[in-house]
Amino acid sequence: MSMNVGSSSGEDEVVSTINTTPLVDVMLVLLIIFLITIPAVISAVKVKLPSETNIARVTKPENIDISVTKDGDIYWNTTQVNDTDELVKRLGKVSVLNPQPELHVRGDSGARYESVGRVVYAAQRAGIMKVSFVTQPPERGG
């Protein structure tokens, strides 16, 4: 067993080469991580995702405006609806009309998703075919 303790002249030699072993180790680990994660990121099922559309709302007299307040109160145009059963009954009466009116849901930005979901579920139970959500458009130029 031998050991290098320095030169006999008392001067240490400066090593001017870079030790690339740690660099190669890190690069191999990164390569393995990328090889493992890339198949998980690429979707195997081909689907066409919907794109964002902004269609100007056409207000017709037969359209129904349902508003949901921050507290979860439901309003049919300007009249408050007591519960979702009453909403289903009222929507059921208009769902048989030809042409069927559109349902425009206006939810307060502070309203719970559950409150708006109950309105959508009531529309589904009543047989309403077209439900639209009314939103505030973003400010331009800002």
Q: Whole-prediction pTM value?
A: 0.58
- Which CATH code is given to the segment(s) 64-133? 3.30.420.270
Residues 60-113 have pLDDT tens digits of 777 889 999 999 999 998 899 999 999 999 999 999 988 888 899 998 888 899
Output the furthest CA–CA distance in the chain (Å, rounded).
106
Task: Show Cβ contacts of residue 100 under 8 Å, excluding neighbours closer than 6 positions.
Answer: 94, 128, 129, 130
What average pLDDT is seen over the chain?
82
Task: Give the separation between CA 122 and CA 90, rounded to whole angstroms.
Answer: 10
pLDDT of residue 135: 80
Quickly state the pLDDT bin for 5 (edges 50, 70, 90). low
